[in-house]
Chains A and B, each alone.
Chain A
Amino acid sequence: MTEQSYPPNLVTDAVDGVRKRHRKEIRFRLLGLSAILASLGFLVFFIASIVTTGYGAFVKTVVLVDVDLTLDSLGLEDGYTPKDLEEISYRTVARNAIRDMFPEVSGRSARRELTGLLGAGAEFELKDFVLKNPDLVGAPQSFWMTASDDFDLFNKGGAREETATQLSSQQKDWYRSLLRDSRVKTTFNASFLTASDSRDPELAGVWGAIKGSFFALGICLLLSFTVGVLAAIYLEEFAPKNRWTSLLEVNINNLAAVPSITYGLLGLAIFLGIFGLPRSASLVGGMVLALMTLPTIIISSRVSLQAVPPSIREAALGIGASHIQAVFHHVVPLALPGMLTGTIIGMARALGETAPLLMIGMVAFIADAPASVLDPASALPVQVYLWADSPERAFAEKTAGAILVLLAFLVAMNMAAVVLRKRFEKRW
């Protein structure tokens, strides 16, 4: 380096030391880039595997069945009333319809296999159809009916053998003949989003769980945002800084790291045990989730309050604003975007939380969507957990489908956080 002229030539004199620094920088950048690529890869793999499995939950197989709706076969007489229509045994009608399509089938077990092509909800679909279109009664009709879950899996799996361990070879033959006649198709499965849980995979949907999650999150937001933000404002702006408040601060930080199931135990002991609130209710679920998110919200709110430059407080106090005016007119509005972001992230975590809900009984099989926060309810992650546990193979795709719905909500919430941040953010 001693031969280096002074002043150094910009291009040729970028020797050793400088080169080394550049190489270091390049190495660091490459490392960072590969870390990002690796995590992106995992993410893509994760999403892709869930989407490919979960896609099936949003479509279903339907079969075109010729239903004999003549009065004779419905067991009706001329001059029937709408009430009579409701009392028909649609179960029998549906069975007869599918049997008539394969008249050659005989024998009890063969016939049972044949009716097993139709889903458990076939009779209700038929009933709804007839009640909605009473004028179609009296003539044979063709009608798309939901297929059973095994049949559905076989169809969606491209009729490969390994997708239909539950189907007999005879059933597969029927399927193929139906397919040849273009009597099988897949359609959008709206009921996955509008129906609640069911023992039958082809009827099961996430609506009840969505509603339960919605109620629980609503309660959670209400409680944890108001309490959390007010606590943060008090602690940060008004509380004296002494040993007690620092003890409090340490404890709040610790609470944020407590395993969530502990909050479930707390809720079980206090909300159910002492206050006697109803089990499995989304009200209690929301309260437990609020306890869980409270520390997160307090911490993020305090951080965003601390980030407001002290000169803003001084400016307000300096022209004679009272302490509370300075805080609420100037400091809080500036901290609000940070508070909202923290809250939404806390909410997103609460949305995905299962453990505390298990403890307060939000884990039961609940076939009706909750009508109020006091009704027994489940929640999306709990639904995922329940379905993942079910033996029927068709629930596997339901599980993935429910995860997709959950992810969609999470993405929506995080986007909301970004939008809110952008909207309220002000530079100073």
Chain B
Amino acid sequence: MVIAMTQEMQASKIPQTGEEPATDRPKIHASCVHVSYSGRSAIKNVDLDIRANSVTALIGPSGCGKTTFLRCLNRMNDIIDGCEVRGNIQLDGEDIYAPGVDTVVLRRRIGMVFQKPNPFPKSIYENVAYGPRIHGLASKGRALDGIVESSLKRAGLWDEVKDRLDAPATGLSGGQQQRLCIARAIAIEPDVILMDEPCSALDPIATARIEELIDELKQNFTIIIVTHSMQQAARVSQYTAFFHMGELVEEGETKVIFTNPKDPRTQAYVTGRIG
């Protein structure tokens, strides 16, 4: 079921630029990204490539611009008044800030789980079903039920809510709400999933479940995850980028960043001396 859907969705994606994507071409390519909020610069000069079918962790002290960078990738910063994004960001070689790019299609391909759980004040079912419905993946009935069930299962929430799908989502606990938001994001099967501290409100068991999910999703999807847990970054990611005071200090394979960082600030952060 899920596989069939994925194929159907592949067909509905933004038309590709024609040439066969080179295997080493990054899924997302960001260069010289500057973001400022009402003139106050938040991140400067960030160059980062995100490899396809992998997990990239963004780490760094609070307020260093991880969320800001993440939100550039699906243009969520567009809706913030006074937020200005400069630089070049490409998804599969296409400039996502080019004129004429439809943010609806972009966000259909780059899903996001926000830092604070933000379920719709509707039923649990409705929360997951909304995305597939507006994108025409399934309008109602069995097909939609199937998507809702599989999404909730993958987010590790199914067993807790299967008897009360009609209950309001706002009645769930914080951690359950966060998993619901994950289910909602994966229900539309995006190419890339941006996760902003998805596990900050979760207990170790739910965290493990989400990490499993991330592992599983990376077969087909590209995942970027912001986390404050070094262990989590080390466990789930293949690549890590370290941000500090609005700058991208260092990026590379997770193993290297954690065991043999080039920059002393990275060294200090991953060993817990700053942060």
Interface residue? B60 (CB, 8 A): no
Q: Indicate with 1 or 0, residue by residue over A308-327, a CB within 8 angstroms of chain B CB atoms.
A: 01011111111111100100
Residue of A nearest to B168 (CB): A426
Contact status B76-A315, CB under 8 Å: no
A54 to B15 CA separation, bound complex (whole angstroms): 76
Tell me the count of chain A residues lying within 8 A, CB to CB, of chain B: 21
- Given B112, B135, B170, which contacts A318 in the complex, CB threshold below 8 Å? B112
Residue of A nearest to B128 (CB): A319
- Given A309, A312, A320, which contacts B131 in the complex, CB threshold below 8 Å? A320
Interface residue? A427 (CB, 8 A): yes
A-binding segment of B101-109, B252-260, B266-274: B101-109
Residues of A within 8 A of B181 (CB): 315
A315 to B128 CA separation, bound complex (whole angstroms): 12
Contact status A428-B111, CB under 8 Å: no
The listed residue with most B CB atoms (<10 A of its CB), out of A241, A311, A313, A320, is A320
Residues of B within 8 A of A318 (CB): 74, 76, 107, 111-112, 114, 185
A67 to B165 CA separation, bound complex (whole angstroms): 75
A321 to B112 CA separation, bound complex (whole angstroms): 13
Contact status B114-A311, CB under 8 Å: yes
A428 to B170 CA separation, bound complex (whole angstroms): 6
Residues of B within 8 A of A428 (CB): 121, 170
Residues of A within 8 A of B184 (CB): 315, 319
Interface residue? B188 (CB, 8 A): yes
Interface residue? A91 (CB, 8 A): no
Interface residue? B62 (CB, 8 A): no
Residues of A within 8 A of B106 (CB): 320
Residues of B within 8 A of A320 (CB): 104-108, 111, 131, 134-135, 188
Contact status A317-B76, CB under 8 Å: yes
Tell me the count of chain B residues lying within 8 A, CB to CB, of chain A: 29
How far does the Cβ of B205 sit from chain A's closest Cβ, in whole Å? 25
A316 to B126 CA separation, bound complex (whole angstroms): 12
Contact status B104-A315, CB under 8 Å: no
Interface residue? B158 (CB, 8 A): no
Q: Indicate with 1 or 0, residue by residue over B22-56, a CB within 8 angstroms of chain A CB atoms.
A: 00000000000000000000000000000000000
Residues of A within 8 A of B103 (CB): 317
A76 to B79 CA separation, bound complex (whole angstroms): 88
A317 to B118 CA separation, bound complex (whole angstroms): 12
How far does the Cβ of A148 sit from chain B's closest Cβ, in whole Å? 63
If the complex has contacts A320-B105, A321-B134, A330-B120, are A314 and B114 also in contact, measured as CB distance less than 8 A? yes
Residue of A nearest to B80 (CB): A310
Q: Indicate with 1 or 0, residue by residue over B53-92, a CB within 8 angstroms of chain A CB atoms.
A: 0000000000000000000001010010100000000000
Interface residue? B130 (CB, 8 A): yes
Residues of A within 8 A of B185 (CB): 318-319
A192 to B243 CA separation, bound complex (whole angstroms): 79
Interface residue? B13 (CB, 8 A): no
13 examples of A-B residue contacts, CB within 8 angstroms: A311-B116, A312-B118, A315-B120, A317-B107, A318-B112, A318-B114, A319-B107, A320-B104, A320-B106, A320-B108, A320-B131, A427-B168, A427-B170
10 smallest A-B Cβ distances: which pairs?
A311-B118, A320-B108, A428-B121, A319-B131, A320-B107, A318-B112, A315-B118, A426-B121, A322-B104, A320-B104
Residues of A within 8 A of B (CB): 241, 309, 311-322, 325, 329-330, 334, 426-428
